[in-house]
């Protein structure tokens, strides 16, 4: 095979045009397959939660939610109690659960999802409900996933153009192919999460600073200033999408302060962008939903206690004890885990770890050398932020290492080709490089390619209805039975509130750990606001997906653990019709004076009627036979 450098200009142009066309066809075909054939619906709580907020934005209700965290309820209640009118008198402290403010997610991505729902008509819930006889996949899920997929395609285009500027089209084509065939990247591409959009913004930062580095070399300071400011704008947009990106912003500002003249000035400029573009909008958004203190408390709960979800399900700030020892252990363990799992966190693209070796390679082109250190600085920044304040897991909504996959893969690929070039292979260099490209693509896309035949067969076999992500999510049961059994005015207490809010369009309170929290703290606030609890819903989110088995369920759900386990007993012994909650008519602690579990949910309790939405796997406990 002939080296591309030996081809004429016209031959090279035709070759690269062919490569681009082939890549475009393959990637578009792969995207269609993922969205319309292999798609099983949304499977991440954050995606469903953000989707239901976006639907309310599209309906003109603002950034409000139907998913209520006990900590947010009590925080907004306390916030109202502190407000005074113009004459200094206390304002009414009644919460409006129909317009309950939420600031969990950045406004940018939520606004884009709202626009997509509005354009497609899926902001109208009743007109777009599921027909379980036709499909098990909620059609609006495809709209949310489609937004992510469009950003994924844009990210691949930006990756191709940036890699071409940094190296050449061979490196760019190889990199884009490996990234497009990564199982984890494809998973994020149809997840409904903000990672594809964030990847686009990160690549735009790369493009902007590539031009700034070139402008500095050409001694054009005005252009340098313009492109650095544009990179800061992109970083601000990333922070307004995912606040954890503020750590990436720190890395970006540090690089610019060191690399660009006058040195140090650009850190101060970045501070101004962060204060005006990030801090002020975030403060305004958080002030309407319980104050910034609640969000700081939740972040500290994740960092020091490792139990952000447990804290969110509590009505007080004492649910997760803060201890420095736990924080230091998490910090060291998180850093080690990230370094050891860098390959899996970045989609299993084979050449990603070689980026760390590329740091020791001096590039002749100043732009390639500069972008290398830019990406490293931002990667270190986001690594520190993820270690301290992010939920663990390679598919977590806080997992931002995936954003760096295209650039890391490009530098790794270029380094491999550089090693080949130094072997002095002569005329066989072209064939050797082609063989190397094939090996890299197979290694990186192996997990996806190996499962592709099975996925394809299953997709064709079930293309008429689809396969939901069960357990724990069965949209048809929520969109159909639960919606019909319940009413829009009252609240359902559940272990799956994000799915209830999105699929059933019902108000959902995250089930607390303690009955005392529910009866003493939450019920009075609900009653004062004219709200009542219409039922309890238990799903596989608790009894099938909680890690640690029965001990894990006891730890996570406390007083409500018997209710969580009741469905499992009914599955094992259906002929006995066991009501496990009946046994818990007293408290283990005699000093506790709140209602017992049996008085709430049992055969003689307040919510005595059981409705089996999907056998005993999904049970809805209500006040009456009608479910309301």
Q: Are 138 and 41 in contact (CB under 8 A)?
A: yes
Q: Which domain holds residue 421?
A: 142-460
Q: Are 562 and 584 in contact (CB under 8 A)?
A: yes
For residues 452 and 543, state if they share a domain.
Answer: no
Q: How far apart are CA 37 and CA 80, in angstroms?
A: 48
Q: Answer yes or no: is 91 within a domain.
A: no
Q: Answer yes or no: is 1 within a domain.
A: no
- Name the strand (E) or helix (H) holding 65: strand 64-65
For residues 264 and 395, state if they share a domain.
Answer: yes
Rounded to 5 degrees, φ, ψ at 589 are -95, 115
Q: Answer yes or no: is 81 within a domain.
A: no
Could you report the per-residue pLDDT of 155-178, keeping only the tens digit for each? 999 999 999 999 999 999 999 999
Q: Answer yes or no: is 469 within a domain.
A: no
pLDDT the model gives residue 586: 76
Q: Are 170 and 4 in contact (CB under 8 A)?
A: yes
Q: Answer yes or no: is 117 within a domain.
A: no
Strand order in the sheet with 67-68: 67-68, 507-510, 491-494, 533-538, 619-622, 609-612
- Selection from 82-91, 159-168, 427-436, 593-602 with the highest mean pLDDT: 159-168
Percentage of the chain exceeding pLDDT 90? 60
pLDDT the model gives residue 2: 46
Q: Are 428 and 2 in contact (CB under 8 A)?
A: no
Q: Answer yes or no: is 100 within a domain.
A: no
For residues 293 and 418, state if they share a domain.
Answer: yes
For residues 441 and 565, state if they share a domain.
Answer: no
Q: Are 563 and 580 in contact (CB under 8 A)?
A: yes
- Name the strand (E) or helix (H) holding 537: strand 533-538
For residues 441 and 559, state if they share a domain.
Answer: no
Could you report the per-residue pLDDT of 559-577, keeping only the tens digit for each? 999 999 998 888 887 776 7
| Strands 491-494 vs 533-538: parallel, antiparallel or unpaired | parallel
Q: How far apart are CA 166 and CA 160, in angstroms?
A: 10
For residues 248 and 366, state if they share a domain.
Answer: yes
CB atoms within 10 A of CB 446: 14
Could you report the per-residue pLDDT of 293-307, keeping only the tens digit for each? 566 666 655 555 555
Mean pLDDT, the chain, integer: 88
Which range has the worst mean pLDDT, 330-334, 450-454, 618-622? 330-334
Please say which residue of 415, 434, 460 terminates a domain: 460
């Amino acid at each position: 095979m002939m080296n591309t450098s030996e081809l004429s200009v016209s031959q090279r142009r035709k070759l690269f045009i062919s490569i681009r066309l082939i890549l475009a066809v393959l990637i578009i075909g792969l995207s269609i397959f993922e969205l319309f054939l292999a798609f099983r619906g949304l499977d991440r709580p954050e995606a469903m939660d953000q989707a239901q907020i976006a639907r309310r934005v599209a309906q003109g209700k603002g950034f409000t939610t139907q998913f209520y965290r006990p900590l947010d309820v009590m925080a907004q209640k306390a916030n109202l109690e502190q407000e005074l009118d113009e004459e200094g008198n206390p304002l009414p402290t009644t919460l409006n659960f129909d317009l309950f403010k939420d600031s969990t997610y950045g406004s940018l991505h939520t606004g884009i999802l709202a626009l997509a729902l509005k354009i497609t008509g899926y902001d109208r819930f009743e007109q777009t409900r599921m027909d379980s006889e036709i499909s098990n996949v909620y059609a609006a899920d495809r709209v949310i996933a489609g937004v992510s997929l469009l950003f994924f395609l844009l990210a691949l285009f930006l990756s191709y153009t940036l890699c071409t500027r940094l190296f050449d089209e061979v490196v760019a084509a190889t990199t884009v192919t490996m990234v497009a065939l990564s199982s984890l990247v494809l998973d994020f591409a149809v997840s409904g999460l903000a990672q594809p959009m964030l990847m686009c913004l990160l690549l735009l930062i790369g493009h902007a600073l590539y031009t700034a580095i070139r402008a500095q070399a050409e001694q054009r300071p005005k252009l340098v200033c313009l492109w650095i400011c544009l990179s800061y704008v992109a970083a601000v947009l990333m922070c307004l999408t995912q606040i954890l990106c503020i750590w990436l912003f720190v890395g970006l500002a540090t690089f610019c302060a060191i690399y660009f003249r006058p040195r140090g000035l650009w850190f101060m400029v970045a501070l101004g962008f962060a204060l005006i573009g990030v801090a002020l909008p975030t403060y305004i958004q958080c002030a309407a939903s319980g104050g910034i203190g609640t969000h700081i408390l939740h972040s500290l709960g994740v960092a020091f206690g490792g139990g952000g979800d447990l804290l969110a399900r509590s009505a007080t700030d004492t649910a997760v004890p803060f201890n420095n020892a736990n924080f230091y252990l998490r910090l060291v363990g998180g850093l080690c885990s990230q370094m050891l799992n860098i390959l899996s966190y970045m989609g299993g693209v084979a050449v990603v770890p070689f980026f760390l070796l590329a740091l020791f390679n001096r590039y002749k082109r100043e732009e390639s050398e500069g972008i290398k250190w830019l990406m490293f600085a931002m990667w270190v920044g986001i690594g520190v932020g993820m270690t301290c304040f992010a939920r663990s897991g390679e598919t977590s909504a806080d997992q931002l290492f995936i954003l760096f996959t295209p650039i890391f893969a490009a530098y790794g690929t270029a380094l491999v080709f550089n090693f080949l070039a130094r072997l002095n292979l002569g005329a066989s260099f072209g064939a050797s490089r082609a063989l190397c490209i094939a090996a890299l693509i197979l290694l990186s896309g192996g997990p996806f390619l190996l499962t592709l035949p099975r996925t394809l067969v299953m997709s064709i076999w079930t293309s008429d209805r689809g396969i939901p992500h069960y357990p724990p999510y069965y949209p048809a049961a929520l969109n159909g039975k639960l919606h019909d059994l319940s009413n829009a005015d009252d609240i359902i207490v559940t272990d799956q509130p994000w799915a209830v809010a999105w699929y059933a369009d019902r108000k959902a309170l995250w089930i607390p750990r303690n009955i005392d929290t529910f009866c003493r703290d939450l019920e009075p606030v609900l009653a004062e606001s004219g709200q009542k609890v219409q039922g309890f819903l238990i799903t596989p989110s608790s009894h099938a997906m909680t890690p640690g088995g029965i001990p894990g369920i006891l730890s996570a759900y406390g007083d409500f653990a018997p209710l969580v386990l009741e469905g499992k007993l009914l599955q094992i012994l259906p002929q006995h019709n066991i009501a496990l909650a009946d046994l818990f008519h007293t408290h283990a602690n005699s000093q506790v004076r709140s209602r017992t579990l049996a008085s709430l949910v049992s055969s003689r309790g307040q919510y005595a009627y059981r409705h089996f939405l999907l056998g005993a796997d999904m049970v809805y406990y209500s006040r009456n036979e009608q479910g309301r």
